[in-house]
Structure 1
Amino acid sequence: MNRMRTWLPALGAVVLLVLLVAWMAGLFRERLTPGLEEQQAVGPEPGYLVEPEVVPVSEPVAGSVEAKQATIVSSRIMSRIQKIHVRSGDQVSEGQVLVELEKSDLEARVAQAIDQIAAVRARLTEAERNLQRAVELQGRGLLSVADRDAAQANRDTLQAELQSAEQVLAESRAALAYASIQSPIDGRVVDRFAEPGDTAAPGSRLISLYNPLSLRVEAQVREQLALALAIGQPIPVSLPALDLHIEGAIEEIVPAAEPGSRSFQVKIRLPYDERLLPGMYARVSVPAGSGQRLYVPTSLLARVGQLWVVSVSGPEGPERRFLRLGRELPDGRAEVVSGLAPGEQVLPLE
C-alpha cells in the first residue's frame, strides 16, 4: 500500500507529460486534407497604369544674357576730367551729359578764333573799298591795270583768310563740344572706368552702357540641332538665378560654325524684365525631335529625405520603389527618369 502511494505521483506526471506532447503535436485539433487552398479571385487594385507617352524632346544648352545694344563711352580729346555725373546702375537718356572735361583752354581757342575772324573781316572791308576805288580810277585812266589787279588779289587773299579763320572757329567749337561727353543711347550704366582728376586720352574707356530693352541670350548650339532652327522660332529659356521661365524667339543664327566645338552661335531675343542683367547664366531648351517619357501623378508620391517613394503592385503584393524624377508638369504629374517600367501599376500609399 505504501509502495503504491510512492509511485502514484510519478505516474501522474508521466501521463500529464504525454498528454502535453500530444496536444502540441495537434492530435486534439481538426486536421486539414493535404493540398493547395483555392484562393478567391481578386479584382485589379485601384491605381495608375504607367504608360509611355510620345512627347517633344529638347536638349538643354548653356548660354548667357548679353545686350544687343551696348557701347563704351570714350573721349575724343585729351583733357583732365572735371566731373562725372553717373555711377554704375544709373539710368541715362540719349543726349544726357555723362562726363565734363576741363575746357578753359578750349574756350580760349574759341575766343581767339573769333578775334581772328573779326580782324580778317576788318582788313577785308578795307581791301574791298580799295578795290572799288582802283576800278573807278582805272576806268578814268588814272590807274594802271596792274595796280587794279593787285588790289583785287589782296581782296581775294583776305576772303580766303576769312574762310580759313571760320573753319578754325568751327574746329574750336567742335573741340569745346567734345568737352561735354553725352550718352549716345537710352540705357543703363554698367561701370565707369575713370574718376574726376584723371586725364582722358582719345579712345580711352570712361563709361560702359547698355540698353535693357535689347537683352538677349547667346548660346552655342551643336550643328545637328542648329541646322534645324529658323529665325523667329520660339525657344523656351530659363534663368535659374531668378527661377524664371520665359519664351524667347530666335533673332539671329551666325552662319559659321566654331571649328573646335562644331557649334553655331544662336541669339535669342527676350521679353523685357527689369531683373535681367548682362552676363547672367541662362539655359536654352533646343528642340531635338521626339521621344517616349513616363509620368506619374505627384499625389501618388511620398518624399523620404531627398528620395521619392512610390507603391507599385507586384506579384506578391504592393512593394515600395525609389524613383528619380525629372520636371513637373502643370497637370500635376512628374516625369519619371528611373525606377518604373511601362505597364506597371502605381498604387496609393497607405
Structure 2
Amino acid sequence: MKTKFIIPAACILGLALAVAWMANIFNDRVPPGTVESAAQAVGDAVPVVTGEIMIVEPVPGTIVAKQATDISSRILARVEKILVRAGDTVKKGDLLIQLEQADLLSRQAQATELVNGAKARLKEADLQNKRIKELFKQGMVARSELDQTQASTDSLQAELSQAQQLLNETQTTLLYSTITAPISGRIVDRYAEPGDTATPGGTLLSLYNPQSLRIEAHVREQLALSLNIGDAVSIQVPSLSRELQGTIDELVPAANAGARSFQIHVLMDYSVDLLPGMFARLLFDLRKEERILVPTDRIARVGQLDIAWVLSDGSSQKRLVTTGKKYNDLIEVLSGINEGDRILPVQR
C-alpha cells in the first residue's frame, strides 16, 4: 500500500528538482543593477564626424545588342547543310546555310532553253522580215503581208524578253539557296538542322554584333528629363563584379504611360564576357548630402544587428546602430550615433 504512494511522490519530487535546476536556483545570482564594462583607452576613441557623399540612384537595365538579326530563308527548300553553331563568330558574307539546289538548277536550265528557243525564232523572223521588206519595195507583196511579218517579229521579241525575265528570276532564286552572314558578329542560336525544310520567313539562325552592345533601361520621368545625350553614366554588372563607364546614346522621346518612365540606351566599351540579356545597373548622381561616416572596423556585426561602443562618461556604452552604404573603409550610420560622439574599437 505504501509503495502505491511512494512512486508518484518520487516522480513529483524529481519533476520539481528538474524545474528548479532549469530555473537556475542552485547557481549564484547576480544582484539587480548595472555592471560597468572596462573602458578602452581614451586615445583609442575616434570622434564621429559628418562627411559629404554623393547620393546615387540605381536603375536596373538589360544588356542588348543594337545590331541583331534573325536569319531566315526566302524560299521553300530543304536544308542541305548548316556551317555554324551557337557561339561561333562569323564575318559579313561568310556562308552560313546551304539549301538544296537540284530543283532550282532544273528550273534555271529550263529557263535557259526557253531563252535560246526564243532567240532562234526571233532570228528567223528577222530574216523573214528583211526579205518581205525587199519584196515590198519591189512591189511584189502587199502592205498587209509586211505588217503581218513585222507583228510576228515584235511578238517573238516580247517572248524573248519574257523568257529572259524568267531566267533572271530563276537565277535570283538560286542565289537565295545560299545564305550568307548579313553582318559580322556571333551566332546566338541555331533553330534548324540539315534535312529540315526551310520555309519563307522561318528563323534558321540568330546573330548579333558584340561590338554594338548597349544597356536598355527605363528611367522615371523626373530623372529622365534631366538627362542629355552624351552624359556619362556609371555601370555595374553584378554577375561579373565589374564597374564600367558608359554614355547616353539615345533618349526615347515618349514616356511609358503605365510605368511613367522613359526608355534610354547607354553605350559602353566592348568586353568579350558581356552578353545580351545580362543584368546591369545604371548609377545616376543626384546630389551631395552630409551623412555620418565611421570606420567600418568600429562596427560589429552580431547576427542581424550592428553594434558600436561609444565612450560615455569615461566608460564604454554599447549601442545598436543602423548602418547604410559602405564607402571604401567608411560606413554610413543612419541612427544610433550622433555627430560628436567618440566611438571605441570593437570589444570582444
TM-score tier after normalising by the smaller chain length: 0.7 to 0.9
Given the alignment of the two structures, is residue 175 of structure 1 paired with residue 173 of structure 2, yes or no?
A: yes
Conserved? CA contact 1:225–1:287, under 8 Å: no
User: 1:213 aligned to 2:211?
Assistant: yes
- Kept in 2, the 8 Å contact 1:250–1:266? The answer is yes
Following superposition, the deviation at residue 118 of structure 1 comes to 0.8
TM-score by length of 2: 0.81
Q: 2:47 is matched with which residue: 28, 46, 49?
A: 49
Deviations 1:114-140 (A, max 9, x none): 111111111111111111111111112
Distance 2:151 2:97 in 1: 48
Secondary structure (helix, strand or coil) at the match of 1:209 reads strand
| 3-state secondary structure, aligned to 2:49 | coil
Secondary structure (helix, strand or coil) at the match of 1:52 reads strand
Contact 2:293–2:332 (CA<8 Å) still a contact in 1? yes
Q: Which moved more, 1:131-140 or 1:295-304?
A: 295-304
Amino acid in the other structure paired with 2:253: P
Name the SS for the 2:263 alignment partner: strand
Q: Distance in 2 between matches of 1:239 and 1:197?
A: 41
Alignment of 1:35-74 (within 5 A): 45=43, 47-74=45-72
- 1:75–1:181 CA contact under 8 A, matched in 2: yes
Is 77-86 or 320-329 further displaced after alignment?
320-329
Please say which structure displays the higher CA radius of gyration: 1
Aligned amino acid, residue 70 of structure 2 = I
Residue 343 of structure 1 corresponds to which residue in structure 2?
A: 340
Tell me whether 1:255 sits opposite 2:257 in the alignment. Answer: no
Give yes or no for contact 2:297–2:346 (8 Å, CA) kept in 1: no
Residue 149 of structure 2, aligned match among 148, 151, 159: 151
RMSD between superposed Cα atoms in Å: 2.3
The alpha-carbon deviation at position 254 of structure 1 amounts to 1.4
Preserved contact between residue 51 and residue 294 of structure 1 (Cα < 8 Å): yes
Counterpart of 2:123?
A: 125
Aligned position for 1:97? 95
Shift, 1:202, TM fit: 0.8
Q: 1:116 to 1:187 in 2, by over 3 A?
A: same
Q: CA deviation at 1:76?
A: 0.7
Give the Å deviation of 1:233.
0.7
| Inter-partner Cα distance in structure 1 for 2:292 and 2:165 | 78
Gaps of 5+ in 1: 1-42
AA aligned opposite 1:122 = A
In the TM superposition, what whole-angstrom CA distance separates every residue of 1:201-258 from its partner, at most 9, and x where no partner exists? 1111111111111111111111121111111111111011000111111111212222
Matched-pair contact (CA < 8 Å) for 1:58–1:287:
yes
**Aligned-partner residue type, residue 89 of structure 1:** G
Distance 1:325 1:245 in 2: 24
Letter of the structure 1 residue corresponding to residue 139 of structure 2: G
Aligned length: 307
CA contact (8 A) 1:45 1:347 kept: no
In structure 2, the partner of 1:139 is 137
Report deviation, 1:86.
1.1
Which residues of structure 2 form unaligned runs of 5+? Answer: 1-40
Conserved 8 A contact 1:113-1:172: yes
Query: Normalization by structure 1: what TM-score?
Result: 0.80
Amino acid at match of 2:264: V
1:224 partner letter: Q
Structure 2 CA distance for aligned equivalents of residues 139 and 340 of structure 1: 120
Matching residue's letter, 1:78: L
User: Paired residue for 1:229?
Assistant: 227
Name the structure 2 match of 1:21.
none
Q: Distance in 2 between matches of 1:238 and 1:273?
A: 13
1:308 Cα deviation after fit: 5.9
Q: d(CA) in 2 for partners of 1:314 and 1:51?
A: 16
Q: 1:324 to 1:272 in 2, by over 3 A?
A: farther
- Quote how far apart the aligned CAs of 1:291 are: 2.4
Structure 1 residues 85 and 307: CA distance shift in structure 2, 3 A = farther
Given the alignment of the two structures, is residue 106 of structure 1 paired with residue 97 of structure 2, yes or no? no
Q: Deviations over 1:6-28 (max 9, x none)?
A: xxxxxxxxxxxxxxxxxxxxxxx
Q: Which residue of 2 aligns with 1:17?
A: none
Q: Greater shift after overlay, 133-142 or 337-346?
A: 337-346
Identity %: 44
Q: Which residue of 2 aligns with 1:246?
A: 244
Distance change in 2, residues 1:82/1:339 (3 Å): farther
Consecutive aligned runs of 4 or more in structure 1 exceeding 2 Å deviation: 43-56, 286-330, 332-350
Which stretch of the first structure deviates more once superposed, 134-143 or 101-110?
134-143
C-alpha displacement of 1:277: 0.8
